[in-house]
């Protein structure tokens, strides 16, 4: 039994990542990354409209590439010992499907139609539709947004479906139903060709589609059809039951058995959302606040079901079993974090590279891309910190939490002719930290006990400067984990439980979850200044300077 192997796959915004793990020792035997080719070209996206779509072929091709790389050094016998595969994806990233569960964009007549593709989590085209859902929910006898923080988001399932129904009649008529990416990936791996056989994951259903046992599952047909009559042909084609990620979805498709040599008994675990699995991979426990920091942030938190569970307003939901089975999982987060730093980097580099296009070598171009944020971090760290420094808000991509609002814009106060790029970068980093403090404050206001803060993700592992500012602003130590693939590691943990190697996620975490590599502790003399600056941030955040 000790020669069993498990694969964890994490489908992120830009790429799919996979790890091959010995689930008994925790040893990572191989890693692989495949970047989405159409996405890299910017196809099917329109940033001016906040439209971000991904073609399913990007995922299909990435799966083959990840498997090929992960298994390259395995013998034929070794491949037969891969007992389970766990997966997670971004969310909410839904797609219109036919009766077999095939995305419409895999059909010839829809192959270049962005509305027939996966609508990425960061797509904010459905702001108006989210507002209508919230307005109706507050009038309805049952508030279906209650377990979604009381505010439904344009980033989520029903908003995106309604937007598509209204803007593309062909997709409206062609869609038998809709699926989340986190359900479609395991369905594809298992070769599922009947939508009724798809096991919908609790993460996406509860946090993004308003599913809750307390009100009988998904929002009622009456609610959805009162919202818009285009829901009439969909309401009986959704789902009632949901499953946690430690359960078996099915067995692997013959396609992968034949192409890669998997055993036909290799299990596919129920899917999940990347941040939820990332929290598990990072070692989340009750009352631990896990920050997954990348292009955006997801903040994860759990409490035992028997505890006095608070209702926390303005977050991304609280759902029984959505993170760790047997606990209530809470999700919050910021819609932009690392994205803001990349925006500023592009702002500086684009004119420079354009002016020097004829003289700039590829090596010089690569050096600028690799070193600019490092330079800015060093310049920002050397500046004297005062209460009256330049101040930004972090709403460059709207506000996810607390209190979702994707119409709000970022603002700044305190420019003068002595302002440098270092000042601006520091203010942007502080803004993202202040946004994190606002979220943590909402949990504390609701009497949710927080015993520890853990951090993982790309920004967390690559930028000590950002993490030190975050520790100073939050006025709390932040433990950094030692693994840069915690989302994929979480998928491994769930797959190992689904395969029966461990009886529960908690036991699997004890053997497989990441360890703490370092701790960022707040610097006392900066904490007080940041408290004063945070109060100014709160005033700036409430001030709409651009009311027409």
pLDDT band at 458, cuts 50/70/90? confident
Task: State the alpha helices, DSSP H only, in 71-126.
Answer: 76-80
Evaluate whether 218 touches 180 at the Cβ level (below 8 Å).
Answer: no
pLDDT in tens, 63-95: 999 999 999 999 999 999 999 999 999 999 999
pLDDT band at 147, cuts 50/70/90? very high
- Which pLDDT does position 544 carry in this prediction? 58
Evaluate whether 316 touches 357 at the Cβ level (below 8 Å).
Answer: no
- Which pLDDT does position 360 carry in this prediction? 92
The C-alpha atoms of residue 472 and residue 466 are separated, in whole angstroms, by 10
Q: Which residue has the tokens 């803001």?
A: 340
pLDDT in tens, 290-299: 999 988 999 9
Evaluate whether 60 touches 189 at the Cβ level (below 8 Å).
Answer: no
Across the range 432-459, mean pLDDT stands at 95
Token pair of 283 as six digits:
């070692």
Please report, rounded to a whole number, the percentage of residues in the chain having pLDDT higher than 90: 93
Name which of 292, 247, 290 is nearest 274 in CA terms. 292
The C-alpha atoms of residue 126 and residue 404 are separated, in whole angstroms, by 13
Name which of 65, 68, 79, 86 is nearest 10 in CA terms. 86
- Which pLDDT does position 548 carry in this prediction? 35
> What pairs with residue 479 in β-bridges?
454, 519
Average model confidence (pLDDT) across the chain = 95
Token pair of 496 as six digits:
């190992």
Q: Residue by residue, what is the 3-state secondary structure of 214-242?
A: HHCECCCHHHHHHHCHHHCCCHHHCCCCC
Token pair of 18 as six digits:
């996979």
Residue 314 confidence (pLDDT) above 70? yes
210 φψ region: left (φ > 0), alpha (ψ -120 to 50), beta (else): left
Q: State how far Cα 482 lies from the chain centre.
A: 20
Evaluate whether 477 touches 522 at the Cβ level (below 8 Å).
Answer: yes
pLDDT band at 139, cuts 50/70/90? very high
The C-alpha atoms of residue 391 and residue 432 are separated, in whole angstroms, by 11
- Which pLDDT does position 484 carry in this prediction? 83
pLDDT band at 482, cuts 50/70/90? confident
- Which pLDDT does position 491 carry in this prediction? 98
Residue 175 confidence (pLDDT) above 70? yes
pLDDT in tens, 496-506: 999 999 999 99
Residue 543 confidence (pLDDT) above 50? yes
Residue 200 confidence (pLDDT) above 90? yes
Token pair of 467 as six digits:
């993490």
Evaluate whether 286 touches 303 at the Cβ level (below 8 Å).
Answer: yes
Enumerate residues 6+ apart whose C-beta is below 8 A from 306: none
pLDDT in tens, 219-228: 999 999 999 9
Whole-model pTM: value is 0.94
CA distances for 528 relative to 94, 379, 381, 532, 535, angstroms: 44, 22, 17, 7, 11
Name which of 110, 94, 224 is nearest 173 in CA terms. 110
Residue 313 confidence (pLDDT) above 60? yes
- Which pLDDT does position 235 carry in this prediction? 85
Across the range 439-455, mean pLDDT stands at 96
Token pair of 357 as six digits:
């296009």
Name which of 128, 94, 339 is nearest 234 in CA terms. 94
Enumerate residues 6+ apart whose C-beta is below 8 A from 508: 23, 493, 494, 496, 497, 501, 502
Across the range 311-318, mean pLDDT stands at 94
Least-confidence region, from 32-36, 54-58, 427-431, 458-462: 458-462
């Amino acid at each position: 039994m000790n020669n069993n192997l498990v694969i964890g796959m994490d489908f992120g915004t830009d790429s799919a990542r996979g790890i091959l793990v010995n689930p008994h020792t925790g040893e990572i035997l191989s890693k692989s990354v495949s970047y989405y080719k159409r996405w890299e070209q910017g196809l099917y996206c329109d940033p001016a409209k906040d439209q971000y779509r991904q073609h399913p072929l990007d995922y299909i091709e990435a799966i083959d590439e990840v498997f090929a790389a992960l298994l390259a050094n395995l013998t034929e016998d070794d491949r037969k010992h891969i007992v389970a595969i766990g997966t997670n994806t971004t969310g909410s990233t839904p797609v219109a499907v036919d009766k077999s569960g095939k995305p419409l964009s895999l059909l010839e007549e829809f192959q270049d139609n962005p509305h027939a593709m996966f609508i990425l989590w960061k797509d904010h085209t459905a702001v108006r539709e989210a507002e209508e859902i919230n307005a109706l929910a507050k009038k309805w006898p049952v508030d279906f947004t209650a377990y979604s923080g009381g505010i439904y988001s344009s980033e989520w399932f029903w908003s995106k479906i309604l937007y598509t129904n209204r803007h593309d009649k062909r997709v409206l008529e062609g869609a038998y139903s809709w699926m989340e990416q986190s359900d479609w990936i395991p369905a594809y791996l298992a070769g599922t060709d009947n939508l009724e056989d798809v096991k919908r994951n609790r993460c996406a259903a509860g946090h993004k589609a308003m599913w809750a046992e307390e009100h009988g599952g998904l929002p009622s047909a009456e609610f959805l059809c009162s919202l818009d009559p285009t829901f009439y042909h969909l309401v009986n084609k959704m789902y009632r039951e949901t499953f946690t990620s430690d359960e078996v979805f099915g067995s692997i498709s013959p396609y992968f058995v034949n192409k890669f040599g998997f055993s036909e008994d290799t299990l596919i675990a129920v899917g999940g959302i990347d941040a939820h699995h990332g929290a598990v991979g990072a070692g989340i426990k009750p009352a631990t606040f896990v920050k997954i920091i990348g292009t955006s942030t997801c903040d994860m938190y759990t409490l035992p079901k028997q505890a006095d569970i608070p209702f926390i307003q303005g977050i991304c939901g609280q759902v029984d079993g959505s993170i760790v089975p047997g606990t209530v999982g809470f999700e919050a987060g910021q819609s932009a974090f690392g994205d803001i730093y990349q925006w500023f980097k592009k702002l500086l580099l684009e004119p420079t590279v354009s002016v020097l296009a004829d003289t700039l070598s590829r090596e010089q171009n690569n050096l600028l891309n690799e070193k600019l944020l490092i330079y800015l971090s060093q310049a920002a760290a050397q500046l004297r910190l005062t209460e009256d420094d330049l101040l930004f808000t972090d709403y460059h991509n709207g506000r996810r939490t607390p209190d979702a609002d994707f119409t709000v814009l970022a603002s700044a106060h305190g420019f003068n002719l002595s302002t440098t790029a270092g000042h601006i970068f520091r203010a942007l980093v502080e803004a993202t930290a202040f946004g994190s403090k606002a979220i943590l404050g909402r949990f504390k206001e609701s009497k949710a006990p927080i015993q520890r803060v853990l951090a993982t993700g790309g920004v967390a592992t690559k930028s000590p400067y950002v993490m030190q500012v975050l520790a100073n602003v939050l006025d709390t130590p932040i433990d950094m984990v030692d693994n840069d693939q915690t989302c994929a590691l979480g998928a491994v943990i769930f797959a190992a439980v689904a395969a029966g190697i461990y009886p529960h996620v908690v036991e699997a975490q004890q053997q497989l979850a990441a360890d703490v590599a370092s701790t960022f502790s707040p610097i006392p003399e900066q904490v007080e200044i940041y408290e004063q600056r945070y109060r100014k941030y709160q005033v700036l955040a409430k001030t709409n300077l651009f009311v027409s």
